[in-house]
Amino acid sequence: MSQRLKLSMLATGFAIAAATIATAARADEGMWTFDQFPAERMRAAYGWAPDQAWFDHVRGAAVRINGCSASFVSTGGLILTNHHCAIACLQQLSSADNDLVAHGFNALAASDERRCPGQQAEVVSAITDVTARINAAIGTATGAALVRARDAEMEKLEGPECADHAKYRCQVVTLYGGGQYKLYRYRRYTDVRLVWAPEFQAAFFGGDPDNFNFPRYALDASFLRAYEDGRPAVIASPLTWSARAPVADEITFVAGNPGSTSRQLTDAQRDFQRQMRLPLSLILMSELRGRIIAAMAGNAERTREGADLLFGIENSFKAQMGQFGALNDSEFAAMLRASEADLRARAANDAALGDPWADIGRADAAYRQFYLDYRFLEAGAGQGSDLYGYARTLVRAAAEREKPSAERLPGYADADLPRTERRVLEEVPIYPWLEELNLGFWLSKTREYLTADSADVRALLGNESPEGLAARLISGTRLGDPAYRRQLWEGGAAAIAASDDPLIVLVRNNDARGRALRARFEAEYEGPVVAAQSRLAAARFAAYGASNYPDATFTLRLSYGRVAGWNERGRDVPFATHMGGTFDRATGNVPFDLASGFAANRARINPDVVYDFTTTNDIIGGNSGSPVIDRSGAVIGAAFDGNIHSLGGNFGYDGRVNRTVVVSTMAIQHALEVIYPAPRIVAELNPQPRRGRR
Amino acid sequence: MSQRLKLSMLATGFAIAAATIATAARADEGMWTFDQFPAERMRAAYGWAPDQAWFDHVRGAAVRINGCSASFVSTGGLILTNHHCAIACLQQLSSADNDLVAHGFNALAASDERRCPGQQAEVVSAITDVTARINAAIGTATGAALVRARDAEMEKLEGPECADHAKYRCQVVTLYGGGQYKLYRYRRYTDVRLVWAPEFQAAFFGGDPDNFNFPRYALDASFLRAYEDGRPAVIASPLTWSARAPVADEITFVAGNPGSTSRQLTDAQRDFQRQMRLPLSLILMSELRGRIIAAMAGNAERTREGADLLFGIENSFKAQMGQFGALNDSEFAAMLRASEADLRARAANDAALGDPWADIGRADAAYRQFYLDYRFLEAGAGQGSDLYGYARTLVRAAAEREKPSAERLPGYADADLPRTERRVLEEVPIYPWLEELNLGFWLSKTREYLTADSADVRALLGNESPEGLAARLISGTRLGDPAYRRQLWEGGAAAIAASDDPLIVLVRNNDARGRALRARFEAEYEGPVVAAQSRLAAARFAAYGASNYPDATFTLRLSYGRVAGWNERGRDVPFATHMGGTFDRATGNVPFDLASGFAANRARINPDVVYDFTTTNDIIGGNSGSPVIDRSGAVIGAAFDGNIHSLGGNFGYDGRVNRTVVVSTMAIQHALEVIYPAPRIVAELNPQPRRGRR
């Protein structure tokens, strides 16, 4: 998915100014849940904090979309998000002679708005604490039984007990690694349409090289619209659109869905990340990136078709490179170890605690023994091939649906099945060359890492080569046809057993091994870790009380902060860029070539309009598209990135240099007025007389 | 170059059985210099050790070739080495309609032997201790001055004071990181011709997937021949060829040139390897590997042209992956830290020692600040583009030759210039697509890691894109023409200044920055480290005496050991495979498809001939092609690989599981007799009645 995690480069990973982190003010740290916002702490720091009405208003306008965040900015269901959060839709709606990624999209009339395949929008409507129910269901279970009991109870809460699945979706969220469970109820919109997006080159000016940099000149914004029953959704209380310049030090909030942080990992778990998971992932992504780049070279159609995947890889690569760099920074790592030592010391007299660190250490050691098998044969099987994904979902759904809902694998419970079905049956474009590339890469790396002497590899490949097998599977499968997928979905176990589709056959023959590895993962790692983490969470509550926020879980959070630049090794970085700066930075060559809209409208573009700006808000990937909100509750920008110093944000926050990067509403509106004119949208965003600038 | 470093996969890097390493017998550890062989220690372990005549005989037959090792096996100058050490030659002598890599080469008559471009062969003829002279020249100098003084004295010793450069080459070798300097004098052969090589598929059966595995079925052998004055060189005392099966536990020696080990790094230096150098290198190699694989896909000519580069990358990747895995193994790392702690404790009362660890730590910290600049703009500039390499050598040679020899950059002293000149002027095939790919990759990664805001990147790229610039440079340069290179070489500074060749212009404009980074590297890292290492070496001599061998330096070493398999997690791995096993392992698909010679001659191949076998010898990349010698001084195989457990060998040796992988002379002779018949060579290898089997 197009999450711009924006953590770092190796360069900066090593340059992180860790010496001062331990003493840094952490005033703005935290990705807070709406029901546990530290209003007192904020008031102490800023002299002001929101009241309940403010929270309710913002929560009702904060939108979660596929892999990203967004907000309602009109009563007519208009949604503001990033361009890079809409790029998959732009690509899917493109054709060989109409490249919407390259040229942008502008629905001049309401009837021109086009549905984004598979796109959803969700708004939190209620949060209920269900910790006691989950814990009661778990009881004294351990290992895989714990996971099963927990998941079954979650499924009950999400499914049968959560009414009106057409319009609502329920999701139990695990907070504090199992210390809290909360039931989030979402108002769900499944018809989301594309309204306006600039040219890719305007949104992503500077491309991958600038993707961790500030100053920045990127119009990373787009508009979607939620529909209900074929008509624009009616939103009672959207955010007020305020196309004004940000003011130095003014209070800002970011309401969005940070995807994942790892701030409460134990030392052993961080070692696993540093020693195994991250390097393996970076190495695999690098080779895949190279294969895609070379396969696209000189081929315009492939360049268009592969753009989103390449973007996603490059983006994830940087994020993980930043995480890896941070964990390899000796002083940063020492700070994190000191934090674990502090908790151990505070909890030393807690006899009931046991030794959760040792328990997790043992689980970690066990996991290392089968990590590569699990990675290649289960968790990462298929490596992004959509067709393989369909095959596995169809094979598993057929088997799982024969069991009681509570005993099924994740994603196949009754509550989840409609979403799974929609994902499998929705018509999206399939690019065979990319499918074959992904599948061949996966098979080739599976053999490389598990070795040709592995029985699993022999079962997968037989006497075929990875490349030959991938070619045969992709050319022979009918799974690209939604009608055939529907036939298999509806035909269930009998249809799967009877199918001679080569991808179905491959998955069918190897699924038992993947399931066994998943079971082992649950029994030897996930189960023991959940049990230990919930004791750790209790110890943290006892030690630190409410100054504590849960790791990110791609659920709604609120961060507070302020508009600010930072000091970069003695040099002040101003908090804002202006649109005129784009023309100075342009070289005429990719990715620093001017978007044609900019080149054509240079005379009309006001060079003094604030373009992008930075704030101290604590965000991470998944927050892309989040509204940046002022104290009045008006939106003044959309977060789209972090600066280079936010790279360690997965593991810790340093308020002196960690910055959120935002595209201003001022710039977006200027673009709507003079670059990619959309008077209909400008009018919709500004239904009343415009607010004066402060 | 085609060194098969063969260290490991991530898989095995993490699985290394480190718990027992600390207590492992290290009886066979060591890459010993011929003049400091631990004969007493070997005699104590094996009840026998070589005498001086044995050493002299073996030393006189041990050959160093480009990036590999080899041995004289006939009085007529016949050289045994690995196939993978001759692959560059095979490739260079290939044409579109005659692919010698794929089909092998067999000079049926002496006149069919073909010269390998750029191939040399060198035999050590004398070793002289010059430690006192180098140390006197260094005196009290520090930093860059130390490096300059040391290099100047080396150049004096290698050049003016070492006569007859046509037939001899002198090289001062730094041992024990500066604790010893020795002058090696080599008899040099510059006319080396290809005699016999099997099909690639026979030599590299199992390909990259098997490249760290045993059991193994690879005919990784070839024959070259040294010529002198157009006639085969006359070798007084070659190794006796003994085409017999190895015997369990028999004593084996490996005489060859291990390229590089890092067994005496300090903790700080290992941290740098683990945190920066190795991950960056693995990540860069992976993307380059992916780009090359995809660029070759479906294109037979490119597949042939890029094969050697891809092989080199995949091979280095595994080696470095093994090093990385070993350094990330917590117990292995603890063992290495314990070793530093032991030396610190023993040296605690040595007042003259100072604190070399702290000195190296400071140098390491300084290096980290400019490592990426140095890596991209100087040490790794051009990323394997031959044309870029020519441009830089020509630009630098022109400037350096105007200075006194002692003040020049490494490689440009009078003693080195003939070799440099030969390298620049020799005609070798240039593949423009590969040049453009390499150069574009380098430029693109330089911008990625140094950022678009770097003044160095702007100076390099101007307003061009990395890809656009690479295409312009490669299509516009005339450096592919040896005559133009000669013109610039001979024209010197004036010709360089006048050249409008785009690659010359690029290098000319950016060379000052590269030189400045090199100077900084010498002043802030190399100088202080050399000074501290020579004190550390003295402390090691004082603490451990002669039980100490220097890190590998791609100079001649001798390892002793024995024929042995090992125990793999409870399962005994036999020490040998047999030729018949090839047919069981074959799948019919790349890289497990039978070589056509094997398929065609199956009936004639004796399935019981010992194919590959393992020994306990302590070797590393650069040892490829080394003769494996029995106690009688006869060659019984050519080392070509290490098993998975040799992966940590860069940093330490574990005699229980660390194994050298060898192709037997028995298998080679069988191939010469029935698969790729070369009766002329069989006769030459067996001038006397064959020895009986023991």
Report strand pairing: B634-642 vs B627-629.
antiparallel
Two tokens, residue B236: 């007084």
The model's confidence at residue A23, banded by pLDDT at 50, 70 and 90, is very low
**In chain A, ranges of CATH 2.40.10.120 domains:** 10-120+190-331+551-685
Residue B6 has pLDDT above 50, yes or no: no
**Which of A465, A467, A474, A584 best tests the B interface by mutation, with the highest count of B CBs <10 A?**
A465
Cα angle for residues B86, B80, B230 (degrees, 5° grid)? 80
pLDDT: which is higher, A398 or B410: A398
| pLDDT band for position B112 (cuts 50, 70, 90) | very high
pLDDT confidence tier of residue B286, bands split at 50, 70 and 90: very high
Share of chain B above pLDDT 90, in %: 72
Which pLDDT value is given to residue A155? Answer: 85
Residue B519 CA: distances (Å) to CA of B145, B147, B148, B408, B513: 10, 10, 10, 12, 10
CB-CB neighbors (< 8 A) of A276 in chain B: 10, 14, 328
Do the chains contact at B271 and A330, CB–CB below 8 Å?
yes
B231-232 and B240-241 as β-strands: parallel, antiparallel, unpaired?
unpaired
Would the pLDDT of B92 be above 60?
yes
A74 within 8 A of A571, measured Cβ to Cβ: no
Instruction: Provide the shortest C-alpha distance from residue B495 to chain A (in Å).
Output: 32
Predicted pLDDT at A691: 52
Does the N-terminal peptide bond of residue A215 adopt cis geometry, omega within 30 degrees of 0? Answer: yes
- Sign of the Cα torsion A304, A308, A311, A317 reads negative
Smallest CA–CA distance from A586 into chain B, residue: B463
Find chain B residues with C-beta within 8 A of A10's C-beta: 276, 279-280, 283, 372, 449
**Residues in chain A closer than 8 A to B280 (CB atoms):** 10
Q: Residue A278 above 90 pLDDT? A: yes
* Highest mean pLDDT, choosing among A32-41, B322-331, B553-562: B553-562
CB contact under 8 A, B468 and A275: no
Q: What is the pLDDT of residue B279?
A: 97
The tens digit of pLDDT for each residue in A134-186 reads 999 999 988 778 888 898 899 889 877 776 767 898 999 999 878 889 999 99
Residues in chain B within 8 Å Cβ distance of A368 = 14
The least confident of A229-238, A401-410, A598-607, B66-75 is A401-410
Question: Looking at the predicted structure, is the pLDDT value of residue A8 above 60?
Answer: no
pLDDT surpasses 50 at B217: yes
Helix (H) or strand (E) holding B175: strand B168-175
Is residue B648 very low, low, confident or very high in pLDDT (cuts 50, 70, 90)?
confident
The yes-or-no verdict on residue B105 having pLDDT over 50 is yes
Per-residue pLDDT band for B32 (boundaries 50, 70, 90) equals very high
Please give the Cα distance from B516 to A189 (Å, whole number): 60
Average pLDDT over residues B538-567: 90
Which pLDDT band, with edges at 50, 70 and 90, does B407 fall under?
confident
Both tokens assigned to B434: 């590969």
Q: Is the CB of A206 less than 8 angstroms away from the CB of B437?
A: no
Higher pLDDT, A545 or A102: A102
Short-list B210, B282, B15, CA closest to A285:
B282
pLDDT at B546: 67
Min Cα–Cα distance to chain B from A448, Å? 5
CA A608 – CA A670 distance, rounded (Å): 11
* pLDDT of residue B318 exceeding 80: yes
The Cα–Cα gap between A549 and A35 comes to 11
Whether residue A563 contacts residue A165, with contact meaning beta carbons closer than 8 Å, is answered with: no
- The reply to whether residue A294 touches residue B290, judged by beta carbons under 8 angstroms, is yes
Which residue shows structure tokens 């009918």? A478
Contact B587 A287 (CB under 8 A): no
DSSP codes, B424-465: HHS-----HHHHHHHHHHHHHHHHHHH-TT-HHHHHHHTTS-
Sign of CA dihedral B475, B476, B477, B481: positive
Across the interface, do A451 and B10 touch by the CB < 8 Å criterion? no
Q: What is the mean pLDDT of chain B?
A: 90
- A460 near A506, Cβ under 8 Å? yes
- How many contacts, defined by CB atoms under 8 Å, are there between A and B? 151
Judge: B448–A206 Cβ closer than 8 Å, yes or no. Answer: no
pLDDT digits (tens, 9 = 90+) for B566-592: 987 667 999 999 999 999 999 999 899
The H-assigned helical ranges of B522-595 are: 527-544, 581-585
> Does the distance separating the beta carbons of B287 and A464 come in below 8 Å?
no
pLDDT of residue B689: 61
Model's pTM, two decimal places?
0.84
Say yes or no to pLDDT of B666 above 90. yes
> Which pLDDT tens digit goes with each residue over B363-381?
999 999 999 999 999 999 9
Chain A residues with beta carbon closer than 8 angstroms to that of B11: 372, 449-451
The residue-averaged pLDDT of A491-504 equals: 98
pLDDT confidence band for B13 (50 / 70 / 90): very low
Q: Check if CATH label 2.40.10.120 holds for domain B10-120+190-331+551-685.
A: yes
What is the arithmetic mean of pLDDT over B169-198?
Answer: 93
**Interatomic CA distance for residues B598 and B586, integer angstroms:** 11
Give residue B523's pLDDT. Answer: 94
The better pLDDT of the pair A4, B456 is held by B456
- Give me the pLDDT at residue A647, please: 76
A337 contact partners, CB below 8 Å, separation of at least 6: A267
Q: Which of A203, A84, A296, A97 is nearest to A591 (CA)?
A: A203
Please tell me the predicted confidence (pLDDT) of residue B4: 43
pLDDT tens column, A225-243: 999 999 999 999 999 999 9
Q: Which two tokens stand for residue B423?
A: 């390298």
Task: Compare CB distances from B279 to A289, A324, A463 and report the shortest one's residue.
Answer: A324
Which ipTM was obtained for this model?
0.84
Give the gap in angstroms from C-alpha B80 to the nearest C-alpha of chain A.
30
Least confident of A525-539, B318-332, B664-678: B318-332
Q: In chain A, whose CA is at the least distance from the CA of B644?
A: A451
CB atoms within 10 A of CB B193: 21
**Position A15 confidence tier, pLDDT thresholds 50, 70, 90:** very low
Contact A107, A183 (CB under 8 A): no
Confidence of residue A517 (pLDDT cuts 50, 70, 90): very high
The per-residue pLDDT for B324 is 92
Q: Is pLDDT above 90 for B146?
A: no
Contact B590 A9 (CB under 8 A): no
Residue B448: list chain A partners with CB under 8 A: 9, 208-209
Mutation for A interface: B284, B587, B594, B647, most A CBs within 10 A: B587
CB contact under 8 A, A465 and B208: no
Task: State the maximum Cα–Cα separation within chain A, in Å, rounded to a whole number.
Answer: 72
| The pLDDT value given to residue B644 | 76
Per-residue pLDDT band at A569 (split at 50, 70, 90):
low
CB contact under 8 A, A210 and B11: no
Whether residue A247 contacts residue A563, with contact meaning beta carbons closer than 8 Å, is answered with yes
Which is more confident, A578 or A645?
A: A578
**Arithmetic mean of pLDDT, B105-111:** 97
Q: Which two tokens stand for residue A180?
A: 């809290």
d(CA A640, CA A250): 19
Task: Please give, rounded to a whole number of angstroms, the shortest distance from the CA of B658 to a CA of chain A.
Answer: 19
Q: Per-residue confidence at B17, pLDDT binned at 50, 70, 90?
A: very low
Chain-chain contact of A294 with B437 (C-beta, under 8 angstroms): yes
User: Above 70 in pLDDT, residue A665?
Assistant: yes
